[in-house]
Structure 1
Amino acid sequence: MCTGKCSFFVAITLYQLALLSVICNILLFFPDWKVTYAKEGNITEEVKYMGGFIGGGVLALIPALYIHLTGEQGCCANRFGMFISIVFAAAGVAGAAYSFIVALLGLSSGPLCKTENGFWETPLKESNFTYISNFNLWTRCIEPKKVVQFNMGLFITLMVASILQALLCVSQIINGFIGCLCGTCNESEVMRVG
């Protein structure tokens, strides 16, 4: 696969992962599918860091747009354009790392929920990830309903999406170096050589 087509593939996949990250981050604001918890500020602290929106969304979308341009024929599909795509892909790696770290922190802390004593707290924070497989600990959270499963599912999805984003951006960095050294091998360049 030539460097231009590889860039195009990376960009299209990054678009989808950025959209997934933004959706997951938005959903985390609405545990039990209710707005009241967000209005009252009773949501997990790590959700407010907007890792999926900023890191997995915006910081992945900007490189995706530029990388998409390097995948097409035109002004950016040249050696200099491939070099600039390396810089944007590095920003994408940083965004993916931010999204991953925030999701990991959210997963390790567990959800903010109302416990049996009537207070809003993070009762699973001290469990050191053991709550993930220990279903009995989930009963500590009374409200919102099924908030443990809700947060776990979305934070794990954000972690997987950020890992894939980082891998794609690293592949674009490698692709960009090859494009800088060898050219982008678009059809117009092949026709000129042949």
Structure 2
Amino acid sequence: MCSGSFAKCLGITLMPLSIVCVLCNILLFFPSGTSVAREHITEQVWYFGGILGSGVLMIFPALVFLGLKNNDCCGCCGNESCGRRFAMLSSILFAGVGVLGAGYSVIVSAVAINHGPQCVVFSNSTVTLWGYPFSNGDYLTNTAAWSLCKEPADVVSWHLSLFSVLMVMGLIQMALCAVQVVNGLLGALCGGCCGGSNRAV
């Protein structure tokens, strides 16, 4: 398969992953599907790992990869093959941006999973206390401790599920962008189609 066509496949794969990450980050603003005050939303949600890191920053490399198949950068001094080589080489830069964005999302998600959600830890008729009862991360293997979160209902599983999806999606995005780095180098060296004609990328 030509490097341009392969890059297009990577771009097509990255687009839905980015959308999933943005949606997960948005859902995290509504713990267990409920609306809470701004100050009661888990801190790491405000870092926008899914919206910025695996979302917006991933859109740019995805679009570049999608356009590589037909991009010859207007050729180099009339040499179309040279232009295609340059386009493939420049895609490495965008792949690097994608790796950084996805890496940011993975780090934020890992910290959030370790830190746990913010929730109601004590409530009576006059007082409602919010806090982070799992700041040491031991709740991951001790599901009985989840009962420390009184409200919102099932907030721990909501928090874990969405941040886990963000982390997995981010790792997949990083892997795909890393593959494009190799693909871009091969495309730059071979002019788009190693072992074949350079007329179609």
Same fold flag (TM > 0.5):
yes
- SS at 1:115's partner residue? strand
CA separation in 1, counterparts of 2:33 and 2:171?
A: 27
Amino acid at match of 1:29: F
Cα displacement (A) at 1:188:
7.4
Q: Which residue of 2 aligns with 1:150?
A: 158
- Please state if 1:161 is matched with 2:159: no
Q: Residue deviations 1:57-100, cap 9 Å, x none?
A: 01111110011111x22445711111110000000000011000
Cα displacement (A) at 1:106:
0.6
Q: Residue deviations 1:125-145, cap 9 Å, x none?
A: 12x3x3123111100000111
CA separation in 1, counterparts of 2:181 and 2:104?
A: 18
CA separation in 2, counterparts of 1:153 and 1:136?
A: 17
Pairwise mapping of residues 27-176 of structure 1 onto structure 2 (< 5 A)?
A: 27-35=27-35, 37=36, 39-70=37-68, 72-76=69-73, 78-116=84-122, 118-126=128-136, 128=137, 130-176=138-184
**Structure 1 residue ranges (4+ consecutive) displaced by more than 4 angstroms after TM superposition:** none
Larger radius of gyration: 2
- SS at 2:122's partner residue? coil
CA RMSD after TM alignment: 1.8
Q: Which residue of 2 aligns with 1:13?
A: 13
Cα displacement (A) at 1:155:
0.4
Q: Which residue of 1 aligns with 2:79?
A: none
Amino acid at match of 2:65: I
| TM-score after normalising by structure 1 | 0.90
Q: Pick from 184, 189, 192: which aligns with 2:198? A: 189
CA separation in 2, counterparts of 1:2 and 1:80?
A: 15
Q: Which residue of 1 aligns with 2:186?
A: 178
2:122 and 2:130 in contact (8 A); partners too: no
Distance 1:91 1:40, change over 3 A: closer
Q: How many residues align?
A: 186
Cα displacement (A) at 1:190:
4.2
CA separation in 1, counterparts of 2:2 and 2:38?
A: 52
2:61 and 2:95 in contact (8 A); partners too: yes
CA separation in 2, counterparts of 1:188 and 1:34?
A: 57
Structure number with the higher helix fraction is 1
Amino acid at match of 2:46: K
Identity %: 41
- SS at 1:8's partner residue? helix
Task: List alignment gaps of at least 5 residues for structure 1.
Answer: none
Task: List alignment gaps of at least 5 residues for structure 2.
Answer: 74-82
Cα displacement (A) at 1:189:
2.7
Cα displacement (A) at 1:32:
2.2
Amino acid at match of 1:116: F
Cα displacement (A) at 1:2:
1.8
Q: Residue deviations 1:111-134, cap 9 Å, x none?
A: 0001026311000112x3x31231
Cα displacement (A) at 1:6:
1.0
Amino acid at match of 1:96: A
